[in-house]
Amino acid sequence: MSPVLHTTNNEALMALPLGITMTLTIHFHDNSGDIFHAQNSVVNFATNRDDFVQVGKGVSNNTLIIRTMNVGLTLLMVWDTEHSNIADYVPLLVQYVIYPELRDIVVGDVICFSSSLINQEGLSGMWSSSLNGVLQIDPKTGVAVARNSGTVTVYYEIPGLLKTYREVLVNVPQNIIASHGSRMKMNLEDSPSSRVIVKIGHSSKNMKGECSPAQIKVIEEMKPQSSISCHLHFNNNLFDFQASEIFKVEPGFDALSVQNGHFSTEQISAEVPFNPGFYANETEIILSNYYPNSDVKIFGTTEILENLEVNNDKYW
């Protein structure tokens, strides 16, 4: 077959890549295995099915053009028209060479695509997507982020050699699980952050494939967290102000947390405990002969309010 396909680490290619066109050259051999350089024969061919590969005559009598159309196994028979007993059978197995195997892809997922195919110089090919609005993909590393639902085709091309593809179905997520990732209590005084880990969809992870360090770096630049919006509210009516007035929340992406996260309970929100200290609705009060009294409302936990001290300072 030609062209010659090269793989990383010289791995054996167990099947023909989907979507490529190749030339099959047919030679006649004698009983000792030597090739006949001249043979007065007309080559004919047939396949047991025509939905996996398309086979046609090449530019010369002893060549065939093969186009791989679908994943599956086809049996190719080649024989000498004048001598039907001179025949050969070749199994043509077509498989994906774009990985990983994809199931349950939902909006928000990150996929690290890879392929073992390289060019003669050992360089990888380029990646592309038929619909960037559905699946955004980095052309150099093959990192993709599912941005919307729909069916999209991922292409891997080595210019001048081959272009293979794989179809991806991106679904609308049917559930969201939020888990409080850190057990640290929040204090208004030093304002440490607290993390909530969010998993989208039914699969165990929102990162698919084996991600290399270069791919993880690109993931950060693609900002997959932009698919998520965060909202804050207090779980009781103790305060007369909104949580957004004192807390800030924003989505982020942590590859390590996403890869190692484990979730057991389905929930669409997570509680983050915090110690509010105390809060007064007035920063200062002014007393005079006309207004000798004023009320200050102070909010806080029972432990803090029980130990609250108030000092009266005079200013002249």
In a domain, 289, yes or no: no
Is residue 137 within 8 A of residue 128, CB to CB? The reply is yes
One domain for residues 247 and 268: yes
Range of the domain at 135: 105-171
Q: Give the helix/strand (H/E) hosting 260.
A: helix 255-260
Is residue 304 within 8 A of residue 212, CB to CB? The reply is no
pTM: predicted TM-score of the whole model, two decimal places = 0.76
CATH of the domain at 110: 2.60.40.1080
One domain for residues 45 and 124: no
In a domain, 313, yes or no: no
Burial 76-91 (b: 16+ CB within 10 A, else e): bebbbeeeeeeeeebe
In a domain, 316, yes or no: no
Structural domains counted in the chain: 3
Spatial CA neighbour of 89 closest among 79, 103, 98: 79
One domain for residues 83 and 146: no
Is residue 107 within 8 A of residue 199, CB to CB? The reply is no
Check residue 72 and report its DSSP letter. E
- Residue 181's Cβ-count burial label (10 Å; 0-12, 13-18, 19+) is middle
pLDDT at 176 (0 to 100): 79
One domain for residues 154 and 185: no
What's the pLDDT band for 181 if we cut at 50, 70, 90? low
One domain for residues 37 and 86: yes
Q: State the CB neighbour count (10 A cutoff) for residue 155.
A: 18
One domain for residues 209 and 271: yes
Is residue 52 within 8 A of residue 70, CB to CB? The reply is yes
70: tokens are 């679908």
pLDDT at 52 (0 to 100): 96
Q: State the CB neighbour count (10 A cutoff) for residue 52.
A: 19
What's the pLDDT band for 24 if we cut at 50, 70, 90? very high
One domain for residues 78 and 36: yes
In a domain, 296, yes or no: no
Residue with tokens 């195919």: 117
What's the pLDDT band for 43 if we cut at 50, 70, 90? confident
pLDDT in tens, 131-154: 999 999 999 999 999 999 999 999
Average pLDDT for 7-17: 90
pLDDT at 270 (0 to 100): 67
One domain for residues 268 and 188: yes
